[in-house]
Amino acid sequence: MKLFVSLSILVLFASCGKYEKPFITFKSPEKRLTGTVWECTKAVDADGNESEVFDILNFSINGSDSTFIRISDNPTVLGEVNASSADTLSYNWTWAYALGGRYNKQILIQKDYPFKIYRVISLSKRILVLEDQTVGNIFYHYVPL
């Protein structure tokens, strides 16, 4: 019985994510990220100012290729100065490397221009919050489309 309780506690803590939400999940971060098309509801800058951003993300993993499609009119995320209408771009992404040949699944790296580093603040089936650590530490809040 003690072994069963110990294993249950171990499984509980092993399944807990590194993110604020969810506390317990049995889906990998990849499954939660790729299983949904994400629509941005707001962007919050370092001063706490909120703004509306048209930004839609669709992550996918095909074998060793990890890509995401971004539909946006935001020059900050697209890397363009004169974005005035929605543009659709495809980017490669990966998790950041950690010690021992592992991946840090709190840091998402956009490998194509514009090179970006995002910290995953929250990732569940109902919410995705990314902090753009490359430009101004802006927090982007997404919900399923």
Write down all domains in the chain, each with its CATH number in brackets.
Answer: 27-144 (2.40.128.280)
pLDDT, the chain, mean: 84
What pTM, to 2 d.p., does this model score?
0.80
pLDDT in tens, 75-120: 878 876 555 677 888 999 999 998 888 899 999 999 988 899 999 9
Q: Is the dihedral of CA 134, 106, 38, 52 positive or negative?
A: negative
Give the per-residue pLDDT at 106: 93
- Taking Cα atoms as reference points, which of 114, 116, 112 lies closest to residue 132? 116
Q: What is the mean pLDDT of residues 7-35?
A: 66
The three-state secondary structure class of 138 is strand
